[in-house]
Structure 1
Amino acid sequence: MKYFFLVFSILLLSNSRISAQKEYPKSDFISPLKIPLILAGNFGELRSNHYHAGIDIKTQQRQGLKVFSVADGYVSRIKISHYGYGKALYITHPNGYTTVYGHLKKFSKEIQKYVVQKQYEDESYEIELFPTLTELPVKQGDIVAYSGNTGSSGGPHLHFEFRDTETENIINPILFGMDVKDDSAPVFENIIAYTFNENGQINGKQGISQLNFSKQKDGSYLVNRIKASGEIAFGIKGFDRQKGSFNHNGIYATEILVNGTKYLDLKFDTFSFAESNQINVYIDYARYINTHQRFQKTYIDKGNHLSIYNTKTNDGKITIEPGKDYSITIILKDIAGNATKIYIPVHGEALPIKKTYPDTKTAYYIVADRDNYYEIDNASIFFPANTFYKNEYLDLKKKDKSLYVHNKEVPLHGTYGLTFDISNIKDSLNIDKYFIASYTAKGSPIYETTRLKGKTLSTRTKNLGRFEILKDNTPPSVRAVNFTNNQWISKYNYLVFKISDDLSGLHSYKATIDGKWILTEYEYKKNTLTFNCEDLTFTGTKHKLELVVTDNVGNSTTFTRTFFRKY
């Protein structure tokens, strides 16, 4: 029996070590670019509504750098979209990993020919393709694309990822030996503290407290001694940067020690896409909405099921007992091992509480794991189970023409349904021009994908806050940028247009020459639409171009031009 438990314990320990210390192949892959790897963004970095799934490699403020396949394999997926990764390439390798290359300007000649042919077959710029094992094979070092700035990119760079081919989990590319120089520790900027119930207090205050601190000679930080009781935890603001970059990138690892014992630790080595939207319960979301500052919580809030945690004693909440002293240390680490330490001395003392938690009770109480349905004036709201991360009292009200669905400080885990009865609108001839709009913090309306059915407008949204029914009668604006009507354009490589819409936003565009569909590329950051004149050849010299642009409620503009060109 003793032998059985000994063997069982050894196996259990061995398996836990294997899980915690998985080794990734560091010599199987080369760099995707032949320049020093300087990062504009790193793995796990905190972004809007998601964690960054790869590394963003600076391309010297240029587009068109050669992008290489990091190992043998085949192109298994190609996705082209106006937003997100823009032009993206996925290469599956025989050793169980897939690499992703995003925001590309264009693909290599063979891949580009394959893609354009499919786009013309589908008559669509946005396309998703899944080539077979034998259609587009690549060797390590082959040029597969050229770097760019497509999709939701804020400047020229290459977005680069590693994924487990079987599970599709995302893995930190640095673990595969990508050579990114890093000789400086993470930068600590700010710290706040939290209490969690009516018995908890910090320096006599409940809720959130700003803590004061000072930098020490050894580079560490010392927080002014606090007096507390009950359960407390902290929020940290900071960033990391790699050598040669001034970008504020994400912090790779965080550890919390209480009296020298590890209490909580996490690392951004790998996670699944399904976990990414939990970023809004990982950060102090309300603070982010109000200040645009992302504070990382050092405790695990309800709804946070992230797999990045290795140790999580009491979910990171520290119980402070009166009469006891605590030495709390927060360590911020980068993947190269550089570290910054924050020391927090705490004395347990039950001080009189100056401020209690405010009464937030309303008539509307959400039970997170159940369906919830409400009617407010002419609107109905349906929250499916698990729309919210945790139970909430909601503020729902109608004021003038606006419906207020709680507030933007609360993060949502999923979408919910919102329906308006519009039978009071007498403008029956233009009823299809009405839509549901939400509003930004600055008061600008945003089109919510709206469905008209009978006398109702409905949408599914992940936004909270203010909503209204708006009407859009104005068609999109279209103009040619680099040519005029009846012009010879034989020497032109591209035709460029400006397209935009003032309210409901652009829905679609379609361009033809002499009645034949042509491939045009929309760049939403500049509101430009571009046609590559080399894509097609035409008979004759006189040609008619027609461009139809439609907004989200069906208003349409038809733009025509005649041009002359010799092929």
Structure 2
Amino acid sequence: MSRFIIFFFFLFIAPFHVLESPFYTGNTAVSKPPESYPKNYFRYPLNIAPSLAGNFGDLRTNHYHMGLDLRTQQRENLPVVAAADGYVSHIRIEPYGYGHAIFITHPNGYTTVYGHLNKFYMELEDFVRNQQYATESWEQDIDFSPGQFPVQQGQFIAWSGNTGGSEGPHLHFEIRDSGLADGHNYNPLLFDLNIPDHVPPALYRLGIFDRNQSIYENNPRMFPLHKKVQVGERIYTPADAVIKVPYGKFSFGLSMQDKMDNSFSFGVYKADLYVDDSLYNEFKIEECIYGDSRYINAGIDYFMRYDGHGYMQHLSRLPGNHAPFYNSAGDGVLQLNDDSVHQVEVEVLDVAGNTSLLQFGIQRDSSVHFPENKMGDNIVQKLAPNQPATFENAAVQISLDENALYDTVLLRYNASNAPPEAVSALHSIGDYRQPVHTAYTVRIKSAVLLPDSMKKKVIMVMQSGRRKDAQQCIWQGDWAAARWMNFGQFYLKLDTLSPTVRPINVYDGAIFIRDQQLVFEAKDETGDLQSFNGYIDGRWIMFRQRNNRYTYDFDDRCPPGAHTLEIRAVDLAGNETVYQCSFENRAK
């Protein structure tokens, strides 16, 4: 049945006829009208041929990518220019995230963001440096008024770099709505930045999930896909033209990537699921606020990704997935009510309109079953999405809000002996391969009576798979609390060890002639430092941070001559390490 006939039926016949669908589907949602974006208003912010290392909606750890990563020929310090007339409204300097970033507000209601920069243009750089020394802080978040730093389209604003959370030289570029809070971002490719794209998306594997139970208790069936090329599009099929599906509810997942000319592989822009020419689910990532970008963990098979098997995106909406990327008339959960063969088509598009199609048939078969999935032991409570939940016993308490879970979680718990420096048991809470959307509270009772002076030295340690982290605690009597974004293993640790400070290029009596910087590595075994500060001749100097490395570039606080240096590093528990030495600057 063609889509035109479907349209004719619902327009003229359906109002007078009750149609029983062969499928079970979830609640319907109304599609939003298409947004109108200004074309050719913004220019490409680099003076080189456009090429991307990442697109809007690219699949990243715990977030959809919220902008474009523009390639800089594997080099740093390329000139970055303003995409349109406007004014510098904000700058940010941080050790992770954007690194050095400029925000430019434009008269058409949009703001552009430029991240991972090395340096700002001279007037702005001088202003920011004065603020850093005035506040004795390298990290900065500064707002500006329209008249302070106006810019014109094409004006030099910064040097590209590799700062913050960047893993290689590139420019991160965003387009935001100036009037909306929470980082309301739009897909920059919709603004026609003249980035060539003639390559359709690539499809790799189809997954079928058992939706009679939680997605986290699933063991999906997988089907490799085969490609055949036709004029203007690519068509993919599984080896079996008709896939047998079990009785009951099921949904699809798809491993897929977008492609572009002279670029890498990216997240897809749009994927529509049709069954017998009826639309059952639509995914389109056109805009997003930063708070919603974490919904990627509901949009992918999280187990598969965590276990290192790549990304598979759900062609359905999980019960606790409230992201605005699903605009169609269904949640993508299906159930066949007859034994006929039904035709499935998944249409995957990029912003340029390049299209790939997945086509196959499905048929109900009572002899087919999903692979058995062993749920494991130590299940203590069933936690449902869209409602608050708690679990507690005599030694631990957890509290989750109504937005914390994407699907039902069968909470596993056990207690065991913690490391020698611990002052509590080791509490295993949940499965670290089950994602959490919002921070939840873990409260642990100390197994040791501690005076208030010692409680300041206690931190809560979390081990979640390969990740280890620590936080300061909030105490209520003998209970210590902290908030976390992962399930895992938790315990209280009495931390009396000071952080390590290792000089890289300085020692007592060192002489600097050509090398005009001081470099240190500083870290704590339980996590990030609370602070790292340096002083030359008793005056604060500005170290920039890159992971555990701290670098001070000689400036007017280190003129030629003999100097004393003092470094102070403090960890989360307040333990401090002090390093002191003398050196001489003999620069000419």
Same fold (TM over 0.5): yes
Q: Percent identity?
A: 30
Mapped to 1, the partners of 2:43 and 2:375 lie a distance apart of 58
Q: 1:133 aligns with which of 146, 156, 161?
A: 146
Question: What are the equivalent positions in structure 2 for 1:363-374 lying under 5 Å apart?
Answer: 363-374=380-391
Name the TM-score, length of structure 2 as normaliser: 0.85
- CA displacement 1:275-302 (0-9 Å, x = unmatched): 2121111111232223352210001111
1:336 has 2:336 as partner? no
Structure 1 pair 395–19 and aligned structure 2 pair: CA distance change class (3 A) = closer
Mapped to 2, the partners of 1:449 and 1:64 lie a distance apart of 38
Give the aligned residue type for 2:132: Q
Give the aligned residue type for 2:555: E
Question: What are the equivalent positions in structure 2 for 1:452-531 lying under 5 Å apart?
Answer: 452=475, 455-524=478-547, 527-531=548-552
Segment drifting more, 117-126 vs 383-392? 383-392
Q: Hey, what does 1:230 align to over in structure 2?
A: 248
1:244 has 2:268 as partner? no
Q: Hey, what does 2:406 align to over in structure 1?
A: 389
C-alpha deviation, 1:334, in angstroms: 1.7
Q: Hey, what does 2:577 align to over in structure 1?
A: 557
Q: Hey, what does 1:533 align to over in structure 2?
A: 554
C-alpha deviation, 1:338, in angstroms: 1.6
C-alpha deviation, 1:379, in angstroms: 1.9
Structure 1 pair 59–449 and aligned structure 2 pair: CA distance change class (3 A) = farther
Q: 2:124 aligns with which of 107, 111, 121?
A: 111
Q: Hey, what does 1:83 align to over in structure 2?
A: 96
Segment drifting more, 548-557 vs 356-365? 356-365
C-alpha deviation, 1:485, in angstroms: 2.3
**Alignment check: 8 A CA contact 1:91 1:99 kept:** yes
Question: What are the equivalent positions in structure 2 for 1:377-456 lying under 5 Å apart?
Answer: 377-401=394-418, 402-424=426-448, 432-442=456-466, 445-452=468-475, 455-456=478-479
Q: Hey, what does 2:22 align to over in structure 1?
A: none
C-alpha deviation, 1:537, in angstroms: 5.6
* Matched pairs, number: 540
Mapped to 1, the partners of 2:244 and 2:456 lie a distance apart of 61
Structure 1 pair 458–19 and aligned structure 2 pair: CA distance change class (3 A) = closer
Give the aligned residue type for 2:585: R
**Alignment check: 8 A CA contact 1:321 1:349 kept:** no
Mapped to 1, the partners of 2:497 and 2:147 lie a distance apart of 49
Structure 1 pair 466–217 and aligned structure 2 pair: CA distance change class (3 A) = same
Mapped to 2, the partners of 1:25 and 1:18 lie a distance apart of 22
Tell me, what secondary structure is at the counterpart of 1:310?
coil
**Alignment check: 8 A CA contact 2:317 2:326 kept:** no
Tell me, what secondary structure is at the counterpart of 1:306?
coil
Q: Hey, what does 1:182 align to over in structure 2?
A: 197
C-alpha deviation, 1:464, in angstroms: 0.2
1:296 has 2:328 as partner? no
Q: Hey, what does 1:202 align to over in structure 2?
A: none
**Alignment check: 8 A CA contact 2:502 2:522 kept:** yes
1:318 has 2:334 as partner? yes
Structure 1 pair 555–196 and aligned structure 2 pair: CA distance change class (3 A) = same
C-alpha deviation, 1:431, in angstroms: 5.0
C-alpha deviation, 1:450, in angstroms: 3.0
C-alpha deviation, 1:42, in angstroms: 0.3
Structure 1 vs Structure 2 CA RMSD: 2.7
Structure 1 pair 41–233 and aligned structure 2 pair: CA distance change class (3 A) = same
**Alignment check: 8 A CA contact 1:514 1:545 kept:** yes
Q: Hey, what does 1:3 align to over in structure 2?
A: none
C-alpha deviation, 1:307, in angstroms: 1.8
**Alignment check: 8 A CA contact 1:423 1:456 kept:** no
Mapped to 2, the partners of 1:232 and 1:65 lie a distance apart of 50
Mapped to 2, the partners of 1:498 and 1:376 lie a distance apart of 42
Structure 1 pair 222–411 and aligned structure 2 pair: CA distance change class (3 A) = same
**Alignment check: 8 A CA contact 1:196 1:207 kept:** no
Q: 1:309 aligns with which of 322, 326, 336?
A: 326
- CA displacement 1:462-482 (0-9 Å, x = unmatched): 110212233443322223323
Larger RCO (CA under 8 A, 6+ residues apart): 2
C-alpha deviation, 1:451, in angstroms: 3.6
Q: 2:70 aligns with which of 51, 54, 57?
A: 57
Tell me, what secondary structure is at the counterpart of 1:309?
coil
C-alpha deviation, 1:179, in angstroms: 2.0
Mapped to 2, the partners of 1:17 and 1:466 lie a distance apart of 42
Structure 1 pair 111–292 and aligned structure 2 pair: CA distance change class (3 A) = farther
1:38 has 2:27 as partner? no
Give the aligned residue type for 1:544: T
Give the aligned residue type for 1:269: E
Segment drifting more, 478-487 vs 73-82? 478-487
C-alpha deviation, 1:399, in angstroms: 2.4
Give the aligned residue type for 1:84: G
C-alpha deviation, 1:490, in angstroms: 5.0
Segment drifting more, 423-432 vs 42-51? 423-432
- CA displacement 1:113-162 (0-9 Å, x = unmatched): 11111111111111100011111111111111111111111111000000
Q: Hey, what does 2:564 align to over in structure 1?
A: 544
Tell me, what secondary structure is at the counterpart of 2:565?
strand
Give the aligned residue type for 1:417: T
Mapped to 2, the partners of 1:376 and 1:543 lie a distance apart of 58
Segment drifting more, 508-517 vs 299-308? 299-308
C-alpha deviation, 1:207, in angstroms: 5.4
Question: What are the equivalent positions in structure 2 for 1:9-48 lying under 5 Å apart?
Answer: 20-48=33-61
Give the aligned residue type for 1:510: N
Segment drifting more, 143-152 vs 392-401? 392-401
Tell me, what secondary structure is at the counterpart of 1:43?
coil
**Alignment check: 8 A CA contact 1:376 1:398 kept:** no
Tell me, what secondary structure is at the counterpart of 1:448?
strand
**Alignment check: 8 A CA contact 2:320 2:403 kept:** no
Mapped to 2, the partners of 1:462 and 1:150 lie a distance apart of 25
Structure 1 pair 248–352 and aligned structure 2 pair: CA distance change class (3 A) = closer
Mapped to 2, the partners of 1:537 and 1:197 lie a distance apart of 68
Segment drifting more, 276-285 vs 361-370? 361-370
**Alignment check: 8 A CA contact 1:449 1:460 kept:** no
Mapped to 2, the partners of 1:105 and 1:492 lie a distance apart of 19
1:345 has 2:361 as partner? yes
Mapped to 2, the partners of 1:425 and 1:283 lie a distance apart of 45
Mapped to 2, the partners of 1:329 and 1:369 lie a distance apart of 31
Give the aligned residue type for 1:103: H
